[in-house]
Structure 1
């Protein structure tokens, strides 16, 4: 176990999130995300009064499939909700279509907030979309290619890829020492 031993505790909530990326035969990429929430104890169902949701039973179980092109522009989006706590939750899926045409390369989180923020969307689908961009960058290798004199998008975005760090010096020496836009 990589963490230190925990203090005595009682399980309460489990959230599992997974992402998978696929290259399609038509030159596009599908990125799929799955979110599964459950409790470690029984609780009353909000959607079905009088029913008990058993420990481990999904409160939220949702999927997204986002299709992107080489430039990381959303070409299609699909969702499914097998489990959700309220009857009205699935209505939030319609708003996802507003993300078609948005770019994951720049302004992704702002696009999500603009099109799906507040009651227009679903908190859990928004959370899946936020991090889906990272899975997309890991899937679409073209996102990491330099554009002429421009460094790949991931440089300067974390400690490991600091323009003044060893990672850039070793793998992208032509960009080593470059001043970031924030400087």
Structure 2
């Protein structure tokens, strides 16, 4: 069901974020993210002749390509900043290399904060990285597998995959009615 009709309003900001996953011939996976911010009105700019950025002109336009193995460990990372509001923004790209060797499967957000938090990185690239892990899980089937005989990682992580729920009963009956406490033991 769609959202209800909105109150009268005027659009002021547009953010587009997309993710794609690609299986490579060498057995690795490329997960790509793109972020594009723009305004619907003219905006002051240091980089645009005349000092004004026209409506629709990107304020942020950034891309990431993170190469992972089947266990979602980062093997390589590449970025581009086609549009950014300040001259110092591009320097944040260097710190991305500290994410090589980190795992998207466990502790991903903490690793991002540790390596790229504060002024070490870029807020917008961090935002892209956070959800890049979800795209990786959706792309790399092996990422859904559990460790040994344990349940797949996505079980117990949302209402639809509740161990006591219908989804687990139908698709993973061997784990139906397990609790998160039983798995941790």
Alignment length, in residue pairs?
A: 183
The offset of 1:51, in angstroms, is: 1.8
Deviations 1:89-114 (A, max 9, x none): 00000000000000001000000000
- 1:22 is paired with a residue whose SS is strand
* Distance in 2, Cα, partners of 1:118 & 1:47: 25
Tell which deviates more after alignment, 147-156 or 46-55: 46-55
Task: Report what 1:177 is aligned to.
Answer: 177
User: What secondary structure does 1:181 align onto?
Assistant: helix
Cα deviation for residue 60 of structure 1 reads 0.1
Deviation of residue 47 (structure 1)?
Answer: 4.0
Task: Report the equivalent of 2:93.
Answer: 93
Partner of 2:154: 154
C-alpha separation in 2, matches of 1:56 and 1:181: 50
Q: Relative to structure 2, which stretch is displaced further, 50-59 or 118-127?
A: 50-59
Q: TM-score, normalised by structure 1?
A: 0.96
Q: Which runs of 5+ in 1 are unaligned?
A: none
Which structure 2 residues correspond to residues 81-160 of structure 1 after superposition, within 5 A? 81-160=81-160
1:35 match: secondary structure? strand
TM-score by length of 2: 0.95
User: In 2, distance between residues paired with 1:142 and 1:179?
Assistant: 23
Q: 1:116 & 1:141 partners in 2: Cα distance?
A: 28
Alignment of 1:22-37 (within 5 A): 22-37=22-37
Give 1:149 deviation, angstroms: 1.9
Structure 2: give runs of 5+ residues left out of the alignment.
none
Deviations 1:144-178 (A, max 9, x none): 12333211110011000011110000000001011
